[in-house]
Amino acid sequence: MTLRSAMLVMVFVFAVPPMSFPGTSALAQQIYWTSPSEITRAELDGTDPTVLVSTHPHYALVGLTLDLAAGKMYWGQLDSNDPNGPGIRLANLDGSGAELFIQSTPDIISAIAWDFSRDKIYWAIEDGGGHGVWRANGDGTDAAHIHTSLRPEGLAIDVLGARLYFQDGRHLYRSDLDGRDIEDLHTESSSIVNIALDPAAGKLYWSHGNSISGSNLDGTEPIAILTGLADPRAIAVDAAGGKIYWGEQDTGWIMRADLDGTNVEPVVVTGASTYVRAMFLTANDCNDNGVNDDEDIASASSTDCNLNTVPDECEPDDDCNANGVPDFCDNLDGTSDDCNANLVPDECEPDCNINGVADECDITGGLSDDCNFDIVPDECQPLEDCNNNGVTDICDIGASLALDCNVNLRPDSCDIAGGSSPDGNANGIPDECEGSPMPDATFHIDGTVVACTTDADCLVGLAASSDVYCVPASGTCYVQRNRYLSIDPDPALAEVQPARRISLVLDGGATAVLGWVGEPVPLTNIVTIPPQLLSRIEADPHYRNWTLDNDGRPWEDWTVHVGDCETSPGHTYLIQSIPPGADILDEANYSESLELRTVTHSGDVTGSSIGQPPDALRNFKDITAVIRGFGGGQTEPRVWLDLRPFLPDFTNISFVDINGVVDGFKGESYPLGAPLDCPDQVNP
């Protein structure tokens, strides 16, 4: 069973009215699109779809643009059976008041674009005697044929840059808005269908074949962003949200992904007969006035002092010097200096020596020394020299001439000698910095801690499974995952603040150190009880109180999932903790190892019934579970279902995860490489 066949199964299950899938919270902005006989509007996440215009299927609606300031939308209508013939129609944004705007008989319109700043409308004609690009005034008068030799299907306008982008076959072009100075920007390997722009970022995107590619606005540095798609046609960019949207002709679905091609997800599922021909996003309206941001700026209803196409009223409103001007505008117009380019005026930065120069710039400019690299000039630091070596304590510590394990800016040797820190074993390290080696975490079966002494204790109330076992070091049960190692922080270690080392058990019992559990990032966009955290494997130790988040709030009930390209099915891993100040090269300083295993077979994501742990079998129950997870109705935890891509994404159960389960069902091995083959492999 291939990914495409899995998709066909899903069309059968979910079809008929359009439905949305889980994603980010619904936004006030919206997406409009045309299908062969309808114009529909929905929220950017696909919720609340509403049909605005419905015509005879033969009329074939194509092209779509909106004049938000006037509250109008424009589209092309192809079929000559229409009494008014082919041409451009207009209507109110709710679909009412539809009427003929410009007639194009017998030519067939393929795309439309609106230049709101100059009150011009542009349209492309792919077929007919008038093929090329046309322009007219906003009221439809003075139509002019500005490009006559091309047959474009896609069309886009950079309003602020005053450039018109279009295509013909495999070529991408741009010109002035009056059609002069045509540039051939890029030649693609297959016919280009549609174009989208992100002028603020200087990027151009286009759909072709089964791919979406992008480049700079001048066509340089072209790159394939998404491949293996189902014939993408219409595309649109949500620059503020960092997303690209497209409609697939083969499925009729509307999809979206991050602008780098990651986090692919469906937005609206319809059917192949209702595929999307054109798309328009009202996604950049930061001040919620119903007008696109670039329209606000072009019409001077909003200022844009840093020329990033974001109205100034939507930028951070910091005004540290209380002069009534945002800080970033002070910096740009020369009112304030910004010597360290951090967008904070220098007069608002620390200046401990009161010399009129920010401390950081004193240091980087050579006006002050900073022996301990804390961005505070040395002349502003304490001048104590507790060990009487002629060097201030802070410089002793900064130059690693003295240790300061408790970070009190006083050498440990002075703490011990002065009696403020005991040193019971007389090893020169304050006792509060040593701690005793111990296991660093307990483990659970996704929300319920189950104590155990043998593997059999873990199967109470569960179907027999070789993927559930007892972890001797913690005396609790653990359910194996495909791509993750899951840890519950132990409150007993709150004061120790350990780092966690991860090793891989090799054939024959030897081990290879992979790295360290990195900074845990709360996955606040996922509603789970208890909440979840995600860590990558990093090169250096990360010491912290693992029961507090970065704002000091307790998270002792949270689970930390460790996922990286080194964590993959069919392997055994060891996790050990070590206290701060201990020598990481001395194995005696590490805790007892917690042995965590990943599932035996890639693609094994569930057991004999819903919610049961993986059972070492790969069958239709696993396929059903991941499809259910894709649709948002799963009872299996996401860490069971997340198989791909190369770096685990956890937040997104998508087609690639479905494909991974299907490959496992077919008996294929894990395709993403062995742990020690990872390109970001770290061996401390």
Q: What pLDDT is attached to residue 443?
A: 46
Q: Which amino acid is at 258?
A: D
The pLDDT tens digits of the residues spanning 373-391 come to: 778 888 887 788 888 887 8
Peptide bond into 530 cis (omega under 30): yes
Angle between helices 3-14 and 620-630 (to 10 degrees): 60
Q: What pLDDT is attached to residue 4?
A: 28
Taking 60 as the threshold, does the pLDDT of residue 526 lie above it? no
Taking 60 as the threshold, does the pLDDT of residue 119 lie above it? yes
Tell me how far apart the alpha carbons of residues 548 and 527 are, in angstroms, rounded to a whole number. Answer: 19
Evaluate whether 431 touches 416 at the Cβ level (below 8 Å): no
Q: What pLDDT is attached to residue 387?
A: 83
Taking 90 as the threshold, does the pLDDT of residue 607 lie above it? no
Tell me how far apart the alpha carbons of residues 157 and 197 are, in angstroms, rounded to a whole number. Answer: 8
pLDDT higher at 300 or 10 = 300
Taking 50 as the threshold, does the pLDDT of residue 483 lie above it? yes
pLDDT higher at 682 or 317 = 317
pLDDT higher at 641 or 95 = 95
Secondary structure of residue 354 in the 3-state scheme: coil
Taking 80 as the threshold, does the pLDDT of residue 143 lie above it? yes
The pLDDT tens digits of the residues spanning 51-79 come to: 999 887 666 788 888 887 778 899 888 76
Evaluate whether 206 touches 218 at the Cβ level (below 8 Å): no
Q: What pLDDT is attached to residue 256?
A: 93
Average pLDDT, the chain: 77
Q: What is the DSSP letter of 346?
A: G
Taking 90 as the threshold, does the pLDDT of residue 221 lie above it? yes
> What are 379's two structure tokens?
């002349």
Q: Which amino acid is at 577?
A: S
- Written as one string, the DSSP assignment of 409-423 is SS-HHHHHHHTSS--
Q: What is the DSSP letter of 565?
A: T
Nearest Cα neighbor of 582 from 503, 497, 683, 649 is: 497
Q: What is the mean pLDDT of residues 411-431?
A: 80
Taking 50 as the threshold, does the pLDDT of residue 14 lie above it? no
> What are 550's two structure tokens?
């970065």
Evaluate whether 574 touches 439 at the Cβ level (below 8 Å): no
Q: What pLDDT is attached to residue 84?
A: 64
Q: What pLDDT is attached to residue 489?
A: 67
Nearest Cα neighbor of 316 from 343, 336, 349, 282 is: 343
Q: What pLDDT is attached to residue 211?
A: 94
Taking 70 as the threshold, does the pLDDT of residue 189 lie above it? yes
Tell me how far apart the alpha carbons of residues 542 and 522 are, in angstroms, rounded to a whole number. Answer: 16
Taking 90 as the threshold, does the pLDDT of residue 244 lie above it? yes
Taking 80 as the threshold, does the pLDDT of residue 11 lie above it? no
Taking 50 as the threshold, does the pLDDT of residue 412 lie above it? yes
Tell me which residue has tokens 């070091």: 473
Phi, psi for 499 (deg, rounded to 5): -105, 160
> What are 568's two structure tokens?
């993959």
With vertex at residue 491, the alpha carbon angle to CA 490 and CA 496, rounded to the nearest 5 degrees, is: 90
* pTM of the complete model: 0.46
Q: Are strands 254-258 and 243-248 parallel, antiparallel or unpaired?
A: antiparallel
Q: How far apart are the first and last CA of the chain?
A: 42
The pLDDT tens digits of the residues spanning 328-374 come to: 787 777 788 888 777 788 888 888 888 888 888 888 888 888 877 77
Q: Which of 86-90, 452-456, 600-604 has the highest mean pLDDT?
A: 86-90
Taking 70 as the threshold, does the pLDDT of residue 446 lie above it? no
Least confident piece of the model among 21-30, 277-286, 357-366, 512-521: 21-30
Q: What pLDDT is attached to residue 608?
A: 67
Residue 39, C-beta contacts closer than 8 angstroms, at least 6 positions apart: 32, 33, 51, 52, 53, 61, 64, 73, 75, 95
